[in-house]
Structures are given as C-alpha cells and as structure tokens.
Amino acid sequence: MTFKIAFIGLGAMGQAIVSRIIQAGHSVTVHDLSAQAVNATVEKGATALEQGVPLGSDKNLVFVSVSHADIMEKLICEEGGLLDGMDEGGIIVDLGTTPSGQCRQLAKLASAKGKVFLDAPVSGSTPWADAGTLAMMVGGEEQSYQRVRPILSSFANKIHYLGGSGNGQLLKLCHQLTFVSTITGISEAIALAEAHGLKAKMVLDVLADCVAPRHVIDFMLPMAENERFDQGRGTLKLGHKDLQAVKQSAEDVSLKLPLAEELLGYMDKAMKEGWQDADLFALVDMARDEFYATMKSR
C-alpha cells in the first residue's frame, strides 16, 4: 500500500522524525503553527500544507507530534479535523504522551468514522530520532500497526507492539514514572552529597558503577562535569504533564500510586516556584536550593 503521509507538530523531535521518513524515500506534507519550523522541514524535502486545505486532506497516514493531549484531540476531532479530512481507512498515529483512557476513547471515535487511531509514543530525544534509534511503544489495531511498521522503522529501531488501544501510552507512562522518579532520586542524592562537601560528579561516578539506571547517569555525567544541570532536552513542565497523565491513568482503574503522587506533589511545588521552563534535570538545582534555604533559616 502506498501511503500519503502528513505530519503535524514540528518541534525538534518532530523535525528529526520527518527527516528520517523523507530519507527513507517517502513524501511528507507538514503542518505547524511555526512558519520557521515548516520552512526548516521544507528545506529537507517536505511539502508544506497549503493554506485553507483541511488537515489530513487526501492523506491516509497522519502523524501527530504535539506536547499536549488536548491539542492532539482537538486536531483529530474538531470540525474539519483529521477524522473529517482523511481518506476512508486512514491511520492516525499519536507520537506524544497521552493518558491511556483518552487514547481508547479516540480509537473508538476514529473507528466510528472509518479511521484507525494508533498510540505510538516514543522514548529518546532528538539525537536518537536523528539516528533512527528511538524506542517506541504501540497500542491499537494490529493489522494497521503492521501496515505502518515499515514507516515507523525509519525512525525507531526498538518497536514494541503491546496490543489494544492505550497500551502503548500506558507503557510510556510507566517509563515516565520510572524516569522522573529516578531523576528526582538522583537530584536529592546530589544535594545530600553536596551538603556534606562532596561534588556532584563524585556521586554520579559512583552511581554509574552501581545499580542506578544507566541512561539517566549517562545524561547527567557531562552536566556534572560542566557543573550545569540545565543542558538536557526536556522541560520540567512536560515532566509534570506526564506525571499528571500517570495519575489520571491510575485513577481510571482506582489504583493508588503513593510514589507517583508524591512525585507529582514535588513537581507541583516546582511549577509554583517558577521552574516550569527549566530543564527536567534542573531538579538538581531545585534540591540544592532547598538545602541552601534550610541552611539560611537555621
């Protein structure tokens, strides 16, 4: 089957994924509110969506890569959105991080209109996308997944099909819970060590040889060497949003997650204190600030 592909959402990750799809020999029509982002992908071989043309018009495969689930749902469901504009049997692939229950609902709405919705969040950042080595978790109709898998393989080399709609997002939320809790734990470990006169790099060098999760240490070691923990690629507000989705998915099945709730409370505090646009790894700096504030109050 020949796919007529569109891609909505051209952040750093979206642009890298579009480039990989084009390099694999496919034509891609792109759309984003940022003209600069659109122009950057057009320079790499994409085609810009013409003004006034409905989203998904004459397309049978549309990727959506936006940072908020409500925006994604609006793009799909609003009048003139993807469910109205795409070809019959068209496939929508959600690459963002979305509550699993919302994905199941979108899959039902898509099916009622003769379309297919796949949740296919990714793990990794822009360098992984550039190299085509993202990890991906997919939920939804298996036949449709198998049809689009060759396209997915152009930018993800570790793809896990997990069954029904929402399952891909559920596993992504499990990943995010683990990832953010690990960063938070390491951040507090650094603050504790520094309070006793040790350096952040000492902590990370030791943890790297122990049982702490390897990838988080790999991210943080260069930052410790530069003594700057603001050099990652994700913002704290996105980590906060992901933990909110974790909470919602737990509430959907009346499940209590004490650690996740504690982490969300910690992130709520960070947001209120103005850290929302800081890098997620700046949790180290937040933990440090709390130590210094405690010392001053003594």
Q: Which residue has the tokens 């690990």?
A: 182
Specify the domain boundaries for CATH 1.10.1040.10 within the chain: 170-297
**Cα 18 to Cα 155: distance, rounded to the nearest angstrom:** 9
The pLDDT, as a whole number, for residue 141 is 97
The pLDDT, as a whole number, for residue 234 is 76
The pLDDT, as a whole number, for residue 298 is 66
The pLDDT, as a whole number, for residue 53 is 85
Q: Which tokens belong to 153?
A: 């393989």
Of the candidates 67, 93, 76, the residue with the CA atom closest to the CA atom of residue 238: 67
The pLDDT, as a whole number, for residue 59 is 94
Taking the chain (298 residues) in consecutive chunks of 10 residues, what is each chunk's mean pLDDT? 92 96 97 95 95 88 94 92 92 95 96 97 93 98 98 98 97 91 88 89 92 78 84 81 88 86 91 89 84 68
- How does 81-119 read in b/e, with b if 16+ C-beta sit within 10 Å? bbbbbbbeebbbbbbbbbbbbbbbbbbeebeeeebbbbb
Torsion sign, CA atoms 158, 164, 165, 171: negative
**Cα 210 to Cα 82: distance, rounded to the nearest angstrom:** 48
Specify the domain boundaries for CATH 3.40.50.720 within the chain: 5-164
The pLDDT, as a whole number, for residue 55 is 86
The pLDDT, as a whole number, for residue 109 is 96
What DSSP character marks residue 280? G
Confirm whether 113 is a catalytic residue: no
Cβ neighbours, 10 Å, residue 241: 19
Q: Are strands 61-64 and 5-8 parallel, antiparallel or unpaired?
A: parallel
Of the candidates 89, 59, 251, the residue with the CA atom closest to the CA atom of residue 75: 59
Domain 5-164 part of CATH 3.40.50.720? yes
The pLDDT, as a whole number, for residue 232 is 63
The pLDDT, as a whole number, for residue 90 is 96
Selected from 1.10.1040.10, 1.10.10.10, 3.50.50.60, 3.65.10.10, the CATH number assigned to the domain covering 170-297 reads: 1.10.1040.10
Catalytic residue (choose from 4, 59, 115, 172): 172
Q: What pTM does this model have? A: 0.82
